[in-house]
Amino acid sequence: MSEHDKLEKQTDEEPGSADVPVGIRSEWYSRGYLPHRDEKNVLQSVTFRLADSLPQTKLVALKRELDLASLTLLSDPEREAHLRRTIEVYLDSGMGCCALGHARVAAFVQYSLLHFHGERYWLHAWCIMPNHVHVLVEPMEELGKIVQGWKSYTARFMLAQDVSLELGLPRENRVWMREYWDRYVRDRNHYANVLAYIHNNPVKAGLCSLAADWPWSSAGYDFDRGDGGGDGDGGGDGGDRDGEA
């Protein structure tokens, strides 16, 4: 059995894993849109994006269009889901500097995601797109701290390499959007849909023909060889990995 298959089977077998369906619904919260759960051992679909991947003016315009359209008859969660799908279309079109499209940056981000796999969280799937990142993760600690660790560590690396790699990061040195999207996995069908979406995102965006061909994704990742698990700079310009994650 491949390591990727083992990751998928952790919902049934591995110690510290979350069964799907996810069980008793507790520790709910809301950031003003879809309901969320920040709870250990609950599978979460997470998306975080670069700061310039969608200008604030464009986001405001999209929300205004949504308010003026007949979609105002939808419930708040339905409207937010529609807005999120619209935003993802813009992200896939390659807006912003797309610093994650650089091979060294993508490799470093992938290394960062994998670094605490099995220690602070279980990774079930991931995909690093040119301007955003998708992760299917089962946290063992607070999700917000995990995501902040990924972002702060990789931001230091990108800022240090901005000039030499010609990444074109925003002048205000803001690498990631402060906010991120997260959605808890409801059941096995939802799990399968999230997994397929994450792996097929590069195909849908026209970046490759097959999901397994995208080098910065769990779809074709070889754990035995460690393909893409780091670029040789893992402990250098990024700073102290144990400081925050």
Q: Give the model's pLDDT for residue 183.
A: 87
Q: Give the model's pLDDT for residue 155.
A: 96
Task: Categorize the per-residue pLDDT at 55 as very low, low, confident or very high, splitting at 50, 70 and 90.
Answer: low
**Mean pLDDT of the 58-79 span:** 60
Q: Under a CB-based contact definition with an 8 Å cutoff, are residues 138 and 41 in contact?
A: yes
Q: Which of the pair, 205 or 90, is modelled with greater confidence? A: 205
Rounded Cα distance between 222 and 227, Å, is 6
Q: Give the model's pLDDT for residue 88.
A: 72
Q: Ranked by mean pLDDT, which of 94-98, 197-201, 231-235 comes out on top?
A: 197-201
Q: Give the model's pLDDT for residue 70.
A: 55
**What percentage of the chain has pLDDT greater than the value 90?**
48
Q: Which of the pair, 203 or 179, is modelled with greater confidence? A: 203
Burial of residue 232 (CB within 10 Å: 0-12, 13-18, 19+) is: exposed
